[in-house]
């Protein structure tokens, strides 16, 4: 048994992952669930533990990593890893891992939940009824957008973006996409057309974001591109909040340029732009793209397997850095 190995988890994760670590005999410490971890506590953890399992909300920067004395692996409980200074970790021979693919279906499904909720004004209608305003069927009550035959624009045609597009086939939608490179197999499967981003925002009735957060994608949807979108279009973001200029989005929604928006992520998360909270044509969710029991359990197991593999074999199952 490897009781000599110590693993720190920055927040309670599903038991499925913790059990794998305990079965190996590791000493596992979980930070209290209802208290955000401080930088001082993170510095202490990277100094004293062999492995760290962290969340996307935990910033593991160069300063934090400078305290690492015995840390061998940082297993991010997420697909994205923009919260970690990956290059600095590699320089210090610390593996960084993520949880790819496992949350593709869950996030694609939630994207479609937002598309349907916004286009058919589901949340707005629910509030309308609960306030006692429903007096009977009316021909023009809460009219929404029909999506059959509309054009869906996918920005970022990775696993999740492609999964969202596949689901659009059943709705008889036209699919256009923008990505770092064209995807011939994806085009053949879905009849999707590759466009530049500026072309895509002009033709899509629904723009759905699935790109990673990098310095190049911050405010990828800036004021100019948001107002270049078709009048009456819908914007969906289940990627990363800073990809969208929220100030510009608020302006476009208030002016009626956009029909609506569905957001699972926010520019300054967990803070939400106060004006978004006032708008009826926005559906706001608390970053629950991967929030199914099956997905979150497997994410925990995947993070644990990465930790075990590094500690036992000095190799990662899902590495995002190499040295």
Give Cα separations from 143 to 119, 211, 280 (angstroms).
9, 31, 13
- Asked if 180 contacts 206 with a C-beta cutoff of 8 angstroms, the reply is no
Catalytic entry in 120, 166, 257, 287:
287
* Catalytic site includes residue 240: yes
Coil, helix or strand at residue 3: coil
Catalytic entry in 240, 273, 296, 301:
240
* Catalytic site includes residue 247: no
- What is d(CA 318, CA 181) in angstroms, rounded to the nearest whole number? 23
Where do we find the tokens 């499967």?
A: 189
Catalytic entry in 187, 199, 269, 275:
269
* Catalytic site includes residue 178: no
Please provide the distance, in angstroms rounded to a whole number, between the alpha carbons at the two ends of the chain: 28
- Asked if 226 contacts 261 with a C-beta cutoff of 8 angstroms, the reply is no
- What is d(CA 80, CA 100) in angstroms, rounded to the nearest whole number? 8
- Asked if 178 contacts 155 with a C-beta cutoff of 8 angstroms, the reply is yes
- Comparing C-alpha atoms, which of 120, 63, 57, 133 is closest to residue 92? 63
Q: What residues are labeled active site?
A: 240, 269, 287
């Amino acid at each position: 048994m490897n009781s000599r190995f110590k693993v720190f988890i920055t927040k309670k994760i599903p038991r499925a992952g913790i059990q794998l670590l305990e079965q190996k005999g590791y000493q596992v410490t979980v930070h209290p669930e209802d208290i955000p971890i401080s930088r001082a506590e993170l510095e202490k953890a990277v100094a004293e533990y062999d492995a760290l399992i962290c969340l996307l909300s935990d910033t593991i920067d160069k300063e934090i990593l400078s305290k690492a004395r015995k840390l061998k692996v940082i297993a991010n409980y997420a697909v994205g890893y923009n919260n970690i200074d990956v290059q600095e970790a590699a320089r210090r021979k610390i593996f960084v891992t993520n949880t790819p693919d496992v949350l593709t279906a869950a996030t694609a499904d939630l994207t479609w939940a937002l598309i349907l909720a916004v286009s058919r004004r589901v949340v707005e209608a629910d509030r309308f009824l609960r306030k006692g305003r429903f007096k009977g069927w009316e021909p023009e009550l809460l009219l929404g957008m029909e999506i059959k035959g509309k054009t869906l624009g996918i920005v970022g045609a990775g696993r999740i973006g492609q999964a969202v597009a596949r689901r659009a086939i059943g709705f008889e939608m036209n699919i256009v996409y923008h990505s770092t490179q064209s995807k011939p197999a994806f085009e053949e499967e879905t009849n999707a057309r590759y466009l530049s981003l500026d072309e895509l925002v002009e033709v899509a009735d629904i723009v759905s974001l699935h790109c990673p957060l990098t310095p190049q994608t911050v405010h990828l949807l800036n004021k100019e591109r948001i107002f270049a979108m078709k009048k009456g279009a819908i914007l969906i973001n289940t990627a990363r909040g800073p990809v969208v200029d929220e100030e510009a989005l608020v302006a476009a929604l208030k002016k009626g340029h956009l029909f609506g928006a569905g957001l699972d992520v926010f520019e300054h998360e967990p803070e939400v732009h106060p004006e978004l909270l006032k708008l009826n044509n926005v559906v706001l969710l608390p970053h629950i793209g991967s929030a199914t029991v099956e997905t979150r359990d497997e994410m925990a197991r995947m993070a644990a397997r990465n930790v075990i593999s590094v500690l036992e074999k000095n190799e990662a199952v899902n590495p995002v850095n190499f040295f």
